Every structure is written in C-alpha cells, then in structure tokens.
Amino acid sequence: MPVVLPVALEQITHHYERLAGDPQVSQQVTLQADGYGYVTRQVSIAYPRRAYHALQPYPANLPDDAWENTYDDQQQKLRLVESLASFIHLENSQTWRLGLPSQQRVNQLEFDSVPAGGINYETLRADNGLLSAEQTRYLTQQNEIIYTSTPLDLRALVHYQRTAVLDETALKAYEGITIPAEYSFDKLGYVNTPALFSFTTEADLWAVEHSFTLYNDVSQFSTVASQQSTRLVGAITCQYDSHYLVPISQQDVLGNTVTMEYDYRFLSPWRTTDINNNYQECQLDALGRLLATSVYGTENGGQAVGFAKIADYPVSSSLTVEQAIAMATTVGYLQQLATINVTDMFSWMGCVSSDQANSVTADGWSTLLKNRFITFTGHIRSSGHLWARKNPQHPLANLLTEATRNPIHSVTLTADNYPATFDPDDSTKRLQQTGISLSYSDGFGRALQQCVLFPDGKAWHRESNGEISTTEVDASPRWAVSGRTEYDNKGQAVRNYQPFFLDDWHYVVDAAMRTNGYSDTHYYDATGRNIRTVTAKGYLRRNTYYAWFTVAEDENDTVGLEDIPV
C-alpha cells in the first residue's frame, strides 16, 4: 500500500486593514524536508510595501499629512529569512524516536525589489535565484545541540548547546585593537566553530558553549546530577530523595547549600532552607492551595528574627473569610505568620444555618437536607434555588431566596513587620500592622472587584442589600474598592469602574455600580482589539489599525467627536 506524506509547499498571506490598496504581504516556502516530513530548509518572505499613492477617499480620522508620514524607505525592501536545520532520527524498531533537533542556522537576505517573474518554489531553487550560493547572506543565528551519547540512545539527554555569537562582521569592531593574551577569546570562554550549512567558503565563528547538564544513571531515572551555565562558572549539584522524585538539595562549588522539604501530596516544597540557614515555609490545604507563608532565621551575628514556624501557628482549613477579616481588624491583633490566605469557593451558592432553618419551621434543617436542597454545610444547591422559585408560598422558600450570594472571593492578610519588632522610641509598642486585601472573581477566574484596608476616614456607605449610598460617613475600618470590571460575551473588559472608599468590604451589586460608579467604557472590533474608549468623564480615546501603521488618538485629538456613534 502506498504511503503519502503531504507537506505544505507555499503559503502566501495578504493582510488588509480598511485600505484595499495597502496590504502587507508575506509568504512562506518549504524548500526541503527529510523523509519523515521534518522541514530542513524553508524561507519566510516579507514583501515591500506598495508604492506611495494618494488615498481616495481620505480616512476622516487621519491628519492631513499622516498618510505621507507612514512611508519609510525601509518598507521598500524585499526581505527573506532562510532557516536551515538538521534532525536526528532513531529508526530502530526498539528505539524509535524522531525529530531530535541537532543543528540550526538562520540567514537574512535583503533585496531592492521583487523579481519580475515573482517568487515561488521554482524561482527560489533556481541556480541564479534569490537563494543562490552567490547571494549575500547575513547570519542571524546558529545553534548546535550536543547529546551525552554518540551514537544517540533513546533517552536523548542533552549535554550542552553551542551558540554562535561572533562572526566575521562582528569581529571587524576589534580591527586595529591589540587584545592581551589573557583576554583572548578562548580564555574568555569562546570556542572556535565552523559555520554550518555554508553555501560558500565562510570563516569560522566564535561560539559559546552553555547549559551544561550531567545526569545520574538509569537506576536513578537519569535525573539531573549537575548543571553549569558555562565552563567559566562552577556547577550546581543536585541531591534527590530516596525515590528520585524531587531534588532535596542544591550545592554550588563553594559549598553553599539550599535544601527543600516536600509535601508529597503535591510534590511541592513546603520548607526551603537557604545558604544562610534562613527558612521559608508554606502551608497548603488538601487541594494544594496556599494557606499561609512564614519566613524566619538569624541576622546580625546569630540574632533570631522573623515570624513563627507554621507548625506552631497552623491556619485552620475551616477558617472563613469573615473570621479572618474580623480577626485581623481586632484591636491588638498580632500576626505570627507572614501571610494568611483564605478563600470562599462556595459564596455564590448562598448559605443558611441550622438555627435559621429551624426558626422558620421546627424541622426546617432536616427538611432541607432530606430533599437535598442544601449541603451538610448549609450551602444551597441549584435544586434548592429552583424549588424556592417554584414554591414561593412555602415558609422555607423565602429563607433560601433571601440568602446572600456573592462571587467567589479570597482574602490575604499580610504582616508588614515581624511580630517581635518594637518601636525604637517606645519599647512597649509593637510596630506590626496587618494589611488586608480582598479579591472577588467570576467563574473564569477573572477579577471582578478588589478591596484593600485603608486608614479610617470618609467613605460611602454600603447598604445591606449591596446598594451604595453616596452620602459620606465616617468609616472605621475603611476600604478602598477597585470597582467592578464588567466583561462582554467574549471575555473582554467592557467597563472598569473607578475606585472609591467604602465602609464595608462586602460585594457591591451591579445596579449600584451603574448608578453611582464611574467607569471607562471600552469598545472592540471583531478581532478583539480596543478601538474606542469613552472615559468616565465622557472623553474619547481611539485606536485605528492599518496594515502598515496604527493611529492612536487621545482626548485632545478627539474633542468634539465624543457623540459620534461607534
């Protein structure tokens, strides 16, 4: 049975943006591929811009001289980027592995005009074509990958890479300069290497050998034993746990050692000890989410400083956002850990307590559980919300309907000082303050609203239903609220409401924001690019995109155009 391997030969792209007579044209041609379809030679072509011509009609948003100013002599050049590569294929039936990269070179060529007959596969392959051996090529990249074994085995472990950095053109900068022997290129870490894929006789290049890696044997799963950026620096060696799953220490040539202790549920380090015996710890919950961090160690000749060990002050997985904020805003609160993170993943469901349910009917809680309208924690299931809407006359329906529902939100408590830091002018006064940052997000993980604790002062008032009263009150505590971000059905930010001060950290409902908030409104084209922004004060910013240039107009450029429809 015949086997066919189709390979794309040519692809040409015409990029138009509003102006039919001013496209940006590019082309890609595959010149050679090996027996497995891996491309070993190809060229990317950037065609020159069409000659200047008067625009009819002239775009209304362009200044009179803008069209002429978008033209540049560099746009009139034909540019080719030639890529050459070789691959290693392991074709043995027991060691089948294809497409291992070996060598790569990239050349750039430049011409004044497009040949009369155009450019295609045949003209490029011609002996007198644009890619003939006589053409001037500018080397832009050359790289080789050297593997640990020759011939290559199935593991294909990379030993190091050799990348060319200086060619004959670059070396002309040193003409007439006497370089001392101790600063010769080979003493500085460069190696002499031949030019790859040459079409003519080329001078050797100076290259840098880098990214050296040594490996353990197969009994240790070929894990990395040491890494070295170049031969001029020492290697960093790695030690692994008894299962060779994770590195437990790294040591440099001076004996400086970093060690890691792991949470094997997630193969993630929970404690790291640096070269100065300072410790960084983190606490993860059962889903791998960060609950807390701590930093402690010594300084100034062995003086113990830092936060407490997480083992001494673990964060309870049952800690709620409300409890965390109440704890942090309590007078005299002292945080023993660097950060504490709490997330409410079920706030969008609404929640009722057993006391609330039993106060409506004697067996309210058991009734809701029996009918699977709530979870055992009191969170309302979708079936419960549906039942409440269909049976509004039932005493429990009103309880479920009025339950507060908020977007998923999380809070981070950040201590700005160690707990044992005192005021130098008052040895009884601790300097630590705790910053509180709260973030609401939607089902896609996009930020909706953020709150940050601020010093007491004037602020708007949030009503119990989430609406805002713009009458200023004295707020203690006071929160800076970022304002809600609204998205369209493509996930693009449409409105970003301006920040304001509020006397509550709870979520502000959409209606309140639209009534009392100020926002920039963004408009997009079909490809998702921002083309128009109406600021909160009603001014206009506008972006217009063309194939060869972009026009960006600010509020000063668009005075009087604010009311023109999009």
Tens-digit pLDDT profile for residues 525-557: 999 999 999 998 999 999 999 999 999 999 998
Least confident range of 56-70, 133-147, 185-199: 56-70
Amino acid (1-letter code) at residue 61: N
Do residues 297 and 279 lie in contact, with contact meaning Cβ atoms separated by under 8 Å? yes
Which one, of 483, 515, 518, lies nearest residue 502 by Cα? 483
CA quadruple 228, 229, 233, 239: dihedral sign: negative
Question: Residue 130 — pLDDT band, cuts 50, 70, 90?
Answer: very high
Beta bridge partners of 348: none
- How many CA atoms lie less than 13 Å away from 467 in the CB half-sphere? 5
Phi and psi at 387, nearest 5°, equal: -65, -40
Q: List, in order, residues 6 or more apart from 36 with CB less than 8 Å away.
A: 5, 87, 89, 98, 99
Rounded CA separation 559/541 (Å): 10
**pTM value?**
0.84
Mean pLDDT of 263-269: 96
Please give the pLDDT value at position 306: 95
For residue 235, pLDDT beyond 60: yes
Chain centroid, CA 268 distance in Å: 20
Q: How confident is the model at residue 562 (pLDDT cuts 50, 70, 90)?
A: low
Per-residue model confidence (pLDDT) at position 565: 60
pLDDT at position 158 is 98
Q: Average pLDDT of the chain? A: 93
H helices within 168-269, ranges in order? Answer: 168-171
Q: Which residue has the higher pLDDT, 541 or 93?
A: 541
Coil, strand or helix: which one is 85?
A: strand
- Among residues 234, 235, 233, 237, the alpha carbon closest in space to that of 225 is found at 237
pLDDT digits (tens, 9 = 90+) for 469-499: 888 999 999 999 987 888 999 999 999 888 9
295: exposed, middle or buried (Cβ count in 10 Å: 0-12, 13-18, 19+): middle
Contact in structure between 189 and 180 (CB atoms under 8 Å)? no
Residue 388: pLDDT band with limits 50, 70, 90: very high
Contact 219, 237 (CB under 8 A): no
pLDDT of residue 245: 95
**Lowest-pLDDT range of 6-20, 112-126, 176-190, 506-520:** 506-520
